[in-house]
Amino acid sequence: AWFAVSRLSVYYANQNRDAMSLAVRWALAHLEAPIVAGNWEAVNAASAELSQMAGIRITITQRDGTVVADTDADPHLMDNHVYRPEFEQAFMGQVGFADRYSDTLGHRRLYAAAPVMRDGRVLAAVRVSVPLSPGLTFASVLREIAM
């Protein structure tokens, strides 16, 4: 049971990573032009529409980690995100991932962030996130088997 659950946990994590990678690239494709133009009103409107369509949270930060748009919270009240693991990777020019507790929303979430690049440098980052289903975590599955 331990082996089976650990293998399923790895499989589930890989599937989530693939899905989140696709979601962040989809969001980036729709938001890149207004981000590069610095049209934050258009960024907010487009991210709200994309969030509604896909059922995901979208957060956009400038290169210094300042949150400029978020579909689930007021960006002016949010902490700087420069040291969040998914943004650290995005600011290095890669798609970044994380699975952690959200202080803003009060539950565990899966995150993926992608860089907005221009002339070989990162201008900003787009992040998507979804709630992590508590029933599918490794510990919860082991608890069910033990019971």
Q: pTM for the full model?
A: 0.85
CA 108 to chain centre: 12
Residue 96 contacts by C-beta under 8 Å, 6 or more apart in sequence? 85, 86, 87, 88, 89, 90, 111, 112, 113, 114
The dihedrals phi and psi of 112, each to the nearest 5 degrees, come to: -140, 135
Q: Give the per-residue pLDDT at 101.
A: 84
In 3D, which of 85, 90, 99 has the Cα closest to residue 35? Answer: 90
Residue 134's pLDDT band (cuts 50, 70, 90): low
Q: In terms of DSSP bridges, do strands 67-70 and 57-62 run parallel, antiparallel, or are they unpaired?
A: antiparallel
pLDDT in tens, 88-119: 999 999 999 998 888 877 888 899 999 999 99
State the average pLDDT over residues 8-19: 83
Contact 47, 61 (CB under 8 A): no
Higher pLDDT: 34 or 143? It is 34
Q: What pLDDT score does 139 carry?
A: 65
pLDDT at 54: 92
43 has pLDDT over 70: yes
